[in-house]
Chain A
Amino acid sequence: MTNYLDALSVLLLVSAFILMGNKRTGSYIKTFQFQSALVALLTGIIGINSFAEEGRVDVLIIGAIVVGIKVLFIPYLLKKTYAKVAYRVEKDFFLNIPLLIIICCFIVVFCYYVLSETAGINTGIINNQMVNSVSLILIGLFFMISRKKAIGQIVGFLVIENGIFVTALFAIQGMPFIVDIGILMDILVAVIIMGMMVFRIDEKFGSINVDKIKDLRG
């Protein structure tokens, strides 16, 4: 059980690195889909375990909802949005990719250091699962500021949410059922609204590059 979870947490971190290395919008939507599938798998494993041991089905239900929302619906929505606004290929990042990857490595080291220094979390053995999942959050945050396209920011936001969801699973065996459902609904609505706004940005600014959106200052 622990082995599977360790392996999945490392795979999630790897998926974040792959995401950072993606050049095109289409490919980072795919990477996000892959990452969400890993999250769903993780939820499924923990769900089966809690069903076998305590007869609880709530984690399994959450897993199914994750598949529906994060693996199927949101990538579909993002692809559809992108297909409508993409009429030319532009360079999409501010720094070059090797540099971005090196910064990500530093982020992981930083998380390892911080979590190993926090007495409550480090109880003799350092909790690698938590290091990986918190790194995932910070890499998502970094991804948001490293991309120019508005869709890149949406994907970054979703990676942060994936990271938080996984952190909750590793650290506290998942949030209470109703809270988890609420969070997933919030994310769903947020992505739908952001997707609609991307259309409007494209209409008004003639591009979805966020570095062109800078009229309001000071």
Chain B
Amino acid sequence: MGYVLLTVPILAVVLFFASKTKQHQHVISVAASVIMVIAAGVLTGEILQGDFVEYVAWGWFFRMDALSVIVMDIVVIIGLMTSVFSVGYLENEIRHGKLTTDRMRVYYSLMYAFIFTMLLALTVKNIGIMWIAIEATTLASAFLVGFYNGKEAIEAAWKYIIICSVGIAIALLGIIFLQFSSLTVLDSSQFLDWPAMIDHATELQGPTLRLAFIFILVGFGTKAGLAPMHTWLPDAHSQAPSPISTLMSGVLLNGAMYGIIRIVAIVNRSFGNSEFVGRILIAVGILSVVTAAVFIFSQKDYKRLLAYSSIEHMGIIAIAIGFFTPLSVFGGLLHMINHSFTKSMLFLATGNILQKYNTREISKISGLFKMLPVTGVVFLLGLFAIGGTPPFSVFASEIVVISAIFQEQNFFVGGLLILLLAIIFTGLVVTLFKMFYGKDIPKEIVPGEQNIPGVVVIAGLLGMITVMGLFIPDELRTLIDQAVKIVIGG
């Protein structure tokens, strides 16, 4: 099934260039996503049976375990949602004259190239190749960020490619130090091979490993949007077309976080405790949440605001991984899943809002309930969900993380986190609430939903996050437990 998973997106890119009409492109896109979801489902089943899936003939290129399969499932499911949403979204763009069939081909092929690089980053077992794939995600998505070619979009794309390329280059230096620390331990066929590194973790050179971890955290942290390396993120998320913002926020950030978690597992295993890594990760995580809390209040652009909220949630995941107890890592991974689905739903909803009102400014939008009945309701409930209100799923995982922190007797960090989450919730409500009511709606805007497939997708996602908030399916729990075991060991 791994063969299918990795070849389908490439095949889709080739087919986009062969296709003649826009209908064909839509069909190819949705079909490819459906096939990927099926393939991922089968792989997940295999991993639930055995502990991992490895194709020896592929050398370094295929090994998946519970940790990577969780992130992969997020990638393919959000990929499917985005591709269905894109059908309606792109049709509207064409109707408004913002897009041609040729540009649509570019959009779709870059989108699938992006999904391919993400999947590659998750399936390889060599950290060097994982680095190449993560750098390639930047390259595939850079033109998507600047897709509308406006002044601001170009600025965002330039910032994105420069900051992320340099950040990732620093991670490469860290990877070199990582290999340096294992020079006397591993033989040359095992270099940068993370299962081998985990097995020999205690023999690695400590001081070099510390240096390696800091460089890798800075590098992948840039890509994951952790403060203070987050500066590209609000720009890129606000300027990209909404379905692409969805992919970046729901998929890309997790991919980088996955890289960090892998390294954390090696370093902590090597030192036998999480003191060194924990301190840094908790500090970076708190800083990210603080940054989000400060900037959310001053936002005038609703997509930018959601981007800051992504920084916040990446910070929470970093804190959860930093504490490194079974419960906190469980909470962190669960939070990764829940944040991805909730934030995807919100970004897709902004796609509908943006197409209706043609502005990203919060102050120019009013009467959302009247103009977009379904999107408006989903957006409002989504805001409550992302702010951490029960019964939605983000609340469930935040509770797990916070109770794990209190279990560790760290009342300062726990209390601070609760306070910051409350501030952020207030910020979300205060800044965005005026969008929903109000009567002074411009006359030329006609009420009613335009993107029917898109509305179905976001309503489905709302149902999903509500159910996930009330109970976690057994399979998912087993999968996360397996992943926790991989990260913590034992």
Contacts and interface: CB of A to CB of B under 8 A. Distances in A.
B317 to A, nearest CB: 24
A139 interface: no
B132 A190 contact: no
Contact of A176 (B128, B142, B149, B235): B128
Given A164-B172, A171-B176, A175-B179, A120 B208 contact: yes
B129 A161 contact: no
A119 B173 contact: no
A182 B132 contact: yes
A193 B139 contact: yes
B158 A183 contact: no
A175 B169 contact: no
Interface stretch (A5-13, A29-37, A210-218): A210-218
A197 interface: yes
Interface stretch (A59-67, A68-76, A92-100, A200-208): A200-208
B166 A157 contact: yes
A194 B129 contact: no
A175 B176 contact: yes
Contact of B162 (A157, A171, A172, A189): A157
B161 A197 contact: yes
A160 B162 CA distance: 12
B193 to A, nearest CB: 9
Interface in A157-193: 157, 160-161, 164, 167-168, 171-172, 175-176, 178-179, 182-183, 185-186, 189-190, 193
Contacts of A164: 169, 172-173, 176
Contact of B139 (A121, A186, A201): A186
A84 B126 CA distance: 41
Interface residues of B, number: 52
B180 A186 contact: no
Contacts of B143: 193
B204 to A, nearest CB: 9
A68 B208 CA distance: 33
B156 interface: yes
Interface of B: 60, 126, 128-129, 131-132, 135-136, 138-139, 142-143, 146, 149-152, 154-159, 161-162, 165-166, 169, 172-173, 176-177, 179-181, 183, 188, 191-192, 205-209, 211, 234-235, 238-239, 295, 298-299
13 contacts: A160-B166, A164-B172, A172-B176, A178-B60, A182-B132, A190-B135, A190-B165, A197-B142, A200-B154, A204-B154, A205-B151, A215-B151, A218-B234
Given A171-B177, A197-B146, A210-B158, 7 more contacts: A160-B169, A171-B180, A186-B135, A190-B138, A193-B142, A197-B161, A213-B159
